[in-house]
Amino acid sequence: MSKLTDAFKVYGVSAEALDTKGSVIFIGTLPLKDNEKLIKNLCENAKNFIYFSPIEDAFLSNRAQKYIKYEAGSEAGVLALIAKSVLQDSEVSGDVREYLDALDEGYLSAESNVGEEEIEEALSLFEGERLTLLLGEDIQEHPDSDAVAGLIALICRFKPLGVSLPSGKELSVDKADILPPHIDELRSFDGTAVYFYPSNDERFYASAQFALAAKIKDKDEVIITVKSGEYKRVFEVSSELKGTIAILGVNEHKGFRYEVAKITKGR
C-alpha cells in the first residue's frame, strides 16, 4: 500500500476502474512510462482529457485538450485550486465553506505556477460531464498525501467525481466527512530537480535548459547526489524534454519521485 492509498482509507475515497471512454483529468504521472497500454487506449477512446504534470510528455500533450504544467511537489496546491473552483457555487456545509474561503488562491497559484483562470478554463471543458481523476504513480508516495487525499475526498462529497489509479487497483470504503488539513505552505523543489523513474534503462537525460542550469554538457560523466544516495551517469541532452527537471532511470526508488539534486562532473 502507498501513502496515498492509506490516506484514501482515512478520508473514504473509493478508487474505481477507469472509464477509458469517458472524460479524464491526469495528474502526477509520466504517462507512457507508467502504463503505456492504458494511456494509448485513453488517447484513442476518451471523450476528452486534460493533462497536469511538472514534466511535459510530448505524446500526451499533443493529444490532450489542454496541458497544464505545475511545479513539482505542489500537487496539493493544484488540487486545492481545483476544489475551490469546482465547489465555489455548490451548496456545502458551513465548515466546508469556511475551509474553502480560507484557501489563499494567490499563494497557491504563485507557488504551483498554475493560474486560477487556467484552472477554470480547463474545468469548463467538462461541464455537464461525469469526470474521472487519474492519479499517477508520481504521487503515490507524496509527502503531502494527507492533503491530496483529503482534497479529493472533499470534491467527491459534493460532485460526481471518479477516482482511478494507473494500476487499476480498486478500493471500496465508506465516505468520511473529514476536512483536509489546512495548506499553509507548499513544498519547493527549486534548483536542479530530478525525477526518479524505476526502470532497467538507467539513462540520465534532460533539456538543454537543465544542462545550462546544472553547468553540464551532453555526454558529460556526472555524479547526481540526492538525499537517497549518489548515482554516476553519462548525461544526455534530450530534445523531447523541456524545463529544468531531469529524468533518471534507476532499478528501484522508494518514496516521492522528485528530489532536488546536486550535479557535479565525474572525477
For residue 138, which of 222, 219, 197, 59 has the smallest C-alpha distance? 197
Side chain identity at residue 200, one-letter code: N
Match 485538450 to its residue by C-alpha cell.
Answer: 65
DSSP string, 156-202: HHHS-EEEE-TT-----------PPPP--------SSEEEEEESS--
Kindly list the structural domains of the chain, giving each domain's residue range(s) and its CATH number in brackets, ordered by start.
3-164 (3.40.228.10), 193-265 (2.40.40.20)
Is residue 13 a contact partner of residue 35, using CB atoms and an 8 Å limit? no
What's the Cα-to-Cα distance from 134 to each of 16, 18, 30, 111, 164, rounded to whole Å?
A: 10, 8, 12, 23, 5
pLDDT recorded at residue 233: 96
Determine the pLDDT at residue 99: 95
| Residue ranges in the chain modelled with pLDDT below 70 | 31-32, 168-176, 267
**The pLDDT of residue 174:** 58
Q: Tell me the CA distances in angstroms from 236 to 53, 86, 205, one per residue in order.
A: 22, 41, 5
Amino acid at 138: D
Q: Is the dihedral of CA 50, 51, 56, 58 positive or negative?
A: negative
pLDDT score for 61: 72
Alpha-carbon distance of 148 to 143, in angstroms, equals 9
Per-residue b/e over 181-194, b at no fewer than 16 CB within 10 Å? Answer: eebeebbebeebbb
C-alpha cell at position 233: 551517469
Return the pLDDT at 57: 74
